[in-house]
């Protein structure tokens, strides 16, 4: 994360105060039945686990110790060669089009930060506790800058949003 | 007083690869404003941006090159970004919009000093996550099924038409 901050040109020290525990990492397991049971427990108790992240983390660490197996990436040379060959032109095109502005591929652990049911503007308790002032900015952004899909009940906001954008853009259009 | 848009940061990659969490973490920095898939804003500046069908069901393009970034579009998006910065008293934008991975020349023309972050996640995990997302959050609407692939698989169809077909032809 510090490397990412340095690359984009922001002070990396702020990430020290954020809990960036790894979650939902790729792993193998020993017993498939136990894995299925654990997944169904996780799914059934999603709301509970979201409310008790520390308990979830402890339970998950314990589970990995019992049924986890280190993740082994494919090491079959033939497969790797085939994948390299297949993706080479696409990667070359991406590298060419983005020149020196693309960071080296960054692998991020998947933290429990997804917008869940009832979560507004991707805000959860941890975010609000860590950065209350930024939470306000997130809500303002969510209300005044982000639209709603055509199929949702809040889609009535879209014409207002577009009218607001129209006013902001107007000098550009008139020029 | 308009704010100049300096070194906007774009978080790109396949959806379900951790782009949201990276954008959220960066958005915790005091100077950075996190825009989570500001599709309305981009649609307002560039009408063919809306591959999801969130704002219109007309023509849309998955890939956009430098020619799509005409003078009017560039001015519009700069004004809208500037407004967002002013509204939230922020210094720089973090725009997380995974589909922009197919529009790098478009972004570079609009923001020559942009910083692009490209996330890679294990492909199997990303696909499984997309499937799980669609199973959990997908729903039938009066206009058809809406899931990760958009309304009535609009995003998928555009992806096949614009990206897969062109890659095959190239």
Does B146 contact A26 at a Cβ distance shorter than 8 Å?
no
Does the structure show a pLDDT above 50 at A108? Answer: no
Ranges of residues in chain B with a pLDDT under 50 are none
Q: What is the pLDDT of residue A168?
A: 93
Given CB atoms, is B11 within the 8 Å cutoff of chain A? Answer: no
Chain B interface, mutation test: which of A82, A97, A132, most B Cβ atoms within 10 Å?
A: A97
What's the whole-model pTM score? 0.76
Percent of chain A whose predicted confidence (pLDDT) is above 70: 78
Residue pLDDT, tens place only, A18-69: 777 666 666 788 898 998 899 889 888 888 888 888 898 889 889 988 998 8
Given CB atoms, is B121 within the 8 Å cutoff of chain A? Answer: yes
For chain B, the average pLDDT equals 90
- Chain B CB contacts of A4 under 8 Å are 22, 26, 117
Does B40 contact A161 at a Cβ distance shorter than 8 Å?
yes
Residue with tokens 């996780």: A42
Confidence of residue A74 (pLDDT cuts 50, 70, 90): low
CB contact at 8 A, A87 and A95: no
Residue pLDDT, tens place only, B50-84: 988 888 888 999 999 999 999 999 999 999 999 99
Of B29, B92, B119, the CB nearest to A106: B119
Does the structure show a pLDDT above 90 at A154? Answer: no
Q: What is the Cα–Cα distance from A114 to B47, expressed in whole angstroms?
A: 28
Q: What is the pLDDT of residue A105?
A: 42
Give the count of beta carbons closer than 10 Å to the beta carbon of residue A85.
9
Q: How far is B89 from chain A (nearest CA, A)?
A: 9
Angle of helix A132-144 relative to helix B71-88, nearest 10 degrees? 140
Q: Taking Cα atoms as reference points, which of B53, B153, B162 lies closest to residue B106?
A: B162
Burial of B99 (0-12, 13-18, 19+ CB in 10 A): buried
């Amino acid at each position: 994360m510090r490397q990412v901050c340095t690359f984009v040109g922001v002070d990396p020290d702020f990430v020290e105060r954020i809990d960036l525990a790894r979650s939902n990492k790729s792993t193998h397991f020993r017993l498939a039945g136990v894995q299925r049971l654990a997944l169904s427990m996780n799914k059934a108790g999603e709301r509970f686990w979201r409310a008790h992240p520390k308990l979830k983390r402890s339970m998950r660490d314990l589970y990995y110790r019992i049924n986890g197996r280190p993740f082994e990436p494919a090491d079959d040379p033939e497969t790797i060669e085939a994948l390299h060959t297949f993706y080479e032109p696409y990667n070359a095109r991406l590298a060419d089009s983005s020149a020196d502005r693309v960071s080296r591929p960054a692998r991020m652990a998947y933290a429990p930060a997804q917008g869940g049911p009832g979560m507004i503007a991707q805000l959860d308790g941890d975010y609000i506790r860590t950065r209350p002032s930024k939470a306000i900015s997130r809500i303002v952004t969510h209300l005044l800058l982000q639209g709603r899909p055509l199929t949702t009940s809040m889609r009535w906001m879209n014409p207002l949003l577009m009218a607001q954008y129209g006013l902001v853009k107007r000098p550009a259009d008139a020029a | 007083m308009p704010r100049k848009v300096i070194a906007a940061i774009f978080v790109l990659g396949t959806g379900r690869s951790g782009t949201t969490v990276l954008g959220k973490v960066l958005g915790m920095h005091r100077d950075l404003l996190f825009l989570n898939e500001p599709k309305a804003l981009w649609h307002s500046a560039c009408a063919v941006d809306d591959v999801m069908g969130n704002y219109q069901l007309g023509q849309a393009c998955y890939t956009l090159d430098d020619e799509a970034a005409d003078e009017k579009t560039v001015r519009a998006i700069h004004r809208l970004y500037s407004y967002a910065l002013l509204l939230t008293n922020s210094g720089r934008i973090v725009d997380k919009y995974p589909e922009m991975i197919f529009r790098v020349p478009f972004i570079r023309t609009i923001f020559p000093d942009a910083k692009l972050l490209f996330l890679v996640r294990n492909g199997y995990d990303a696909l499984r996550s997309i499937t799980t997302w669609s199973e959990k959050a997908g729903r039938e609407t009066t206009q058809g099924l809406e899931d990760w692939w958009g309304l009535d698989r609009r995003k998928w169809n555009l992806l096949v038409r614009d990206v897969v077909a062109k890659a095959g032809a190239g």
